[in-house]
Structure 1
């Protein structure tokens, strides 16, 4: 199962110098604190929001995900 990597989204936004308020406006959220709840994992991004998020962050949707790999004993 793939897991959305919220830390990647946050780092990418910060690297590009995009504020929480700008993200909120571009994604159609009421304010920066609402967007922050998505980035922090309080709310879950919906699938239809991911293309817009990728466009803003200039990356691929697949960049948001990491494959969960089970650890095995040696």
Structure 2
């Protein structure tokens, strides 16, 4: 099962020098606190957000996921 890798998103955002406010504006959110809720997993990123995130973070879409084993 593929799961969005929120830790990767936060780490990559910091590596790129983007603030949460930058990301909020890029994704069309009202403010950084709204974006923060997505990055912390309180809200789920929508499918439409993922290619936008990958482009902004300079990574492949697949990089936003990790494989979680389900037993």
Q: TM-score, normalised by structure 2?
A: 0.95
In 2, the alpha carbon distance for the partners of 1:20 and 1:68 equals 26
Kindly report the root-mean-square deviation, in angstroms, between the aligned alpha carbons of the 2 structures. Answer: 1.1
In 2, the alpha carbon distance for the partners of 1:22 and 1:70 equals 35
Residue number in structure 2 paired with 1:61 = 61
Question: Which of structure 1's runs of 4+ aligned residues deviate more than 6 A?
Answer: none
The alignment status of 1:22 with 2:22, answered yes or no, reads: yes
- C-alpha deviation, 1:22, in angstroms: 0.5
Residue number in structure 1 paired with 2:52 = 52
Q: TM-score, normalised by structure 1?
A: 0.91
Higher mean C-alpha displacement, 43-52 vs 61-70: 61-70
In 2, the alpha carbon distance for the partners of 1:25 and 1:69 equals 34
Unaligned runs of 5+ in 1: none
Unaligned runs of 5+ in 2: none
**Looking at CA atoms only, which structure, 1 or 2, has the larger radius of gyration?**
1
How many aligned positions are there?
71
